[in-house]
Amino acid sequence: MFLALDSSFPYGDEFTKWVTDNTNQLSKQIVQSSMFDKLLQSVWIKTYALQEGSAAYYIKTIVDYFLGILAVLALFVLIYGFYLLLFSDKNFSDNYNKAKKYIFWASVAIIIIWISWLLVSWLIYIVGKGV
């Protein structure tokens, strides 16, 4: 036995338009919510606009590039450490200890880079907002 569908339910292109309209309305309501806005700001997902040409903008750009280069270098050291760990034939104990040091210090470097990026972003956010 088939269920009778409500005739007010949209089909085909009408359904697509109905879903799009309702999704747009819901997303606008969520974004306009002050609680959602505060949540995004607290985890720094919401971007804040620094005026191009300001000192904070240039400092943030330079720090982002510098930390990005350091993170890539730390990632290469991490990969090299895993390479030594996996493909060491001769002097396994020496290579193992060397690989452990590379992996440990590269991981520490990545964590320090991440923490410093968070701190700089937070300080620039405060300066950019004028708090």
Token code pair at residue 83: 């390479």
Is 43 domain-assigned?
A: no
Residues 76 and 26 in one domain: no
- Output the tens digit of pLDDT for each of the chain's 131 residues: 444 455 555 555 666 666 666 666 656 655 555 555 555 555 554 455 566 777 777 888 888 899 999 999 999 999 999 998 888 777 778 888 899 999 999 999 999 999 998 888 888 877 766 55
Domain count for the chain: 2
pLDDT reported for residue 45: 46
- Kindly state whether residues 59 and 97 are assigned to the same domain: yes
| Within-domain flag for 2 | no
**What's the CA gap between 3 and 10, in Å, rounded?**
16
pLDDT of residue 46: 47
